[in-house]
Amino acid sequence: MNPAPFKSRFAPSPTGLLHLGNVRTALFNYLAAQRAQGVFLLRIEDTDAMRGHDKYAVALEQDLRWLGLAWQEGPGQGGAQAPYFQSQRGAIYARYFDRLESGGSAYPCFCSEHELEIARKTAIAAGRPPRYAGRCFRLTREEIAARRAEGRPATLRFHVADGKTVEFDDRVRGRQTFATSDIGDFIIRRSDGTPAFFFCNAIDDALMGVSLVLRGEDHLTNTPRQILLLSTLGLAVPEYAHIALVVGGDGAPLSKRSGSRSVQELREQGFLPLAVNNYLARLGHTYESNDFLDLAGLAAAFDTARLHKAPARFDETQLLHWQREAVRAADAATLWTWMAESVDALVPEAGRTAFVEAVRGNVVFPPDARHWAQAIYAETLGLHRAAHEAARAAGEEFFDIARRALDKHGTDFKALSQMVKQDTGLSGKALFQPLRAALTGELDGPEMAKLLPLIGLERAHRRIERILEEM
């Protein structure tokens, strides 16, 4: 019998747009699955009816697809353990609640929020962990029946035996040990009948055959509780890896609540998917190479042993670096699709590929492409002050020679500039800046050898003539 394939999962709560810290977790899980030639599973943890929204579930699926993080099991893909929305799995959780309660491992708790708060404060004042003292665990069947007859609401608590430890090897943080006396009996079903998220989280991981639970370190304290649950139920316990959180410049964790930028915002701004992937893959994970990589390359070099324990600090400058690399690496068709909305009305269809190849080194976002499209194709060229001054400083004779060079060599910029150099004796900036200023309105930018054929002979003539008229 063949062993089950490696399986990782991303299990977001659809309570807002997917933010950078969250999508990094998705990316790491995707890369781990790809590296192991396994399965990447998507599960929507939407049991929080007060905060969960269908629109956010739709949005996060769209974000993952945009990033190229295709899941092999989950919504829209199906799988043996469907459904993959936790709100649709209530009957499954109910069976396990019944098993735990009938087996004596769980019990109803009738303590009010007020009573629990008093107990918590008392424990803290006495220097004890603020754990539940097990008051309702000692209720008799008759007392339980009486409270239910009174209509008193009850949670369901899992009973944790004192004097033991829960141990596991974390792929990031090493050996972890928790004393059960510090955990206490914890709630697995709320008084309204809904399951606690870490309960269904653990049950689903086991039933769906998840091999590795790779998630943020803020879930580390949930892990011993989940191990206790799974062990009691006789369900498989996965491996765990708890990654350090992403923090902002102020050292506070990035989150959708703290104003972290969403994937949707990045997409609308014009970031390319592989720019985001290359940046996030290195945010808290060490790659031997700093080369720009596609998803397959990122996966091949991904290793949980290279995940950092220290918080990863978000750096806008680095994100922009990978955006530039993504623009350089993208094929012409991809870049055209990316910038088309900004430049489509300006760039002739026959010249699209040449335009993309000419400007890609000077474009970071689509509006940059529009700037160069206007510099190339606009009938009326606007020169900013510095460019205008550089053109005027070159003088009438310079541009008279440039006009003749244009007549002789057409749009061959190398031959044109060589003729101007020979006839004026100028070189370097003194030669190239006036030519660029007159022809593009800028003092720097893409290679003129690529731009001039796009500008075209007639348009170039008109621009030179305009400069001469202003002399």
Model confidence band, residue 57 (pLDDT cutoffs 50, 70, 90)? very high
Query: At 122, which amino acid appears?
Result: T
334: left (phi over 0), alpha (psi -120 to 50) or beta: alpha
Query: What's the whole-number mean pLDDT along residues 351-360?
Result: 96
What band does 266 get if pLDDT is binned at 50, 70 and 90?
very high
Tens of pLDDT, residues 69-123: 999 999 999 999 999 999 999 999 999 999 999 999 999 999 988 888 887 888 7
Helix (H) and strand (E) counts in the chain: 20, 11
CA Rg, the chain, in Å?
A: 32
The pLDDT score that the predictor gives to residue 117 is: 84
Q: What's the number of CA atoms in the CB half-sphere (13 Å) around residue 78?
A: 1
CA 147 to chain centroid:
48
The confidence score (pLDDT) of residue 50 equals 60
Each residue's pLDDT tens digit, 271-314: 999 999 999 999 999 999 999 999 999 999 999 999 999 999 99
Residue 382 is predicted with a pLDDT of 81
User: How sure is the predictor about 2, in pLDDT bands with cuts at 50, 70 and 90?
Assistant: low
CA distances from 360 to 67, 204, 293, 323, 330 (A): 21, 46, 18, 12, 9
Does the pLDDT at position 258 exceed 70?
no
Q: Provide the 10 A C-beta neighbour count for residue 288.
A: 8
CA distances to 364, 366, 380, 388, 420 from 383, rounded to whole Å, are 22, 21, 10, 6, 21
- Among 184, 113, 118, smallest CA distance to 152 is for 113
SS3 content of the chain, % helix, strand, coil (to 5): 55, 10, 35
Give the pLDDT score at 126: 77
Are 20 and 254 in contact by the 8 Å Cβ rule? The answer is yes
Q: Is the dihedral of CA 223, 224, 230, 235 positive or negative?
A: positive
What pLDDT sits at residue 130?
80
Token pair listed for 184: 């206490």
Structure tokens at 162: 């004192």
- The pLDDT mean for the chain works out to 93
Dist CA 186 CA 176 (whole Å): 20
- Asked if residue 406 has pLDDT above 80, the reply is yes
Q: What is the pLDDT of residue 115?
A: 83
- CA distance between the termini of the chain: 86
pTM of the entire predicted model: 0.91
Average pLDDT over residues 48-63: 82
To 10 degrees, the CA torsion angle through 288, 291, 294, 295?
A: 20
Closest residue by Cα to residue 349 from 377, 328, 375? 377
